[in-house]
Amino acid sequence: MLTTIQNCFRKFTSVMHIKLLIFISLLAFAGCKEKIQKPVPDINMNELKEPLMKVNRKLSREEKLAIDGYVKRRNWNMTETGTGVRYMIIEQGSDETPASGDVVIIDFEISLLDGTVCYTSKESGPEHFVVDYDNVESGMHEAIKYLHKGDKAIIIIPSHRAFGLAGDMAKIPPLSTVIYKIHVLEIIPKQKKNDTSIK
């Protein structure tokens, strides 16, 4: 009787081993099966370039008109740079202007054309950045060079020189014109190469 049970058990386990072996083989075969790739459509970038440029020109024109209206309603006499950045000094400071590589410390308020205040140094404290090097809007790097230590100014930065297509992923929406009200508190000249304090 014991041998019959042992023989039955051996047959059962060998059948189970065979089934397990077949199952593992099927899994391995399925994993090695060559994947069928769908053809990638051939995109001609030149065909896309012109429609994208048209859309970009249209958006730029609409944004410029919105900025023009905003400035006109307030009777502001602003200076416009070649890139569309506008600035107006409302309180004159000293003659000291920042240069590339200088550290500038500012009080600021950033708002949108609809008046929404996004950020302010009243909440976060004064901001400092290295002119032309730190990660602030390219329009700010451009505009700050027209200002002086002690100046209070209004700067309007179009979206392509501010936060662009993505916004800042927090409070500033995509394609937004930003308005800075700033006070240039300090300009710290960049260190000279022969300065012994540089480590």
- What domains lie within the chain, and their CATH numbers? 78-188 (3.10.50.40)
Average pLDDT taken over every residue of the chain: 83
With a cut of 60, say whether residue 1 has pLDDT above it: no
As to burial, measured by CB atoms within 10 angstroms (0-12 exposed, 13-18 middle, 19+ buried), residue 77 is: exposed
DSSP 115: -
Residue 197 has a pLDDT of 45
Query: What are phi and psi for residue 154, nearest 5 degrees?
Result: -115, 130
Q: How confident is the model at residue 165 (pLDDT cuts 50, 70, 90)?
A: confident
Selected residue with higher pLDDT from 67 and 21: 67
Alpha-carbon distance of 183 to 144, in angstroms, equals: 10
How close are the terminal C-alpha atoms of the chain, in Å?
90
Lowest mean pLDDT among 54-68, 91-105, 159-173, 179-193: 179-193
CA dist 103 and 121 (Å) reads 17
3 pLDDT more than 80: no
Mean pLDDT, to the nearest integer, of 109-121? 96
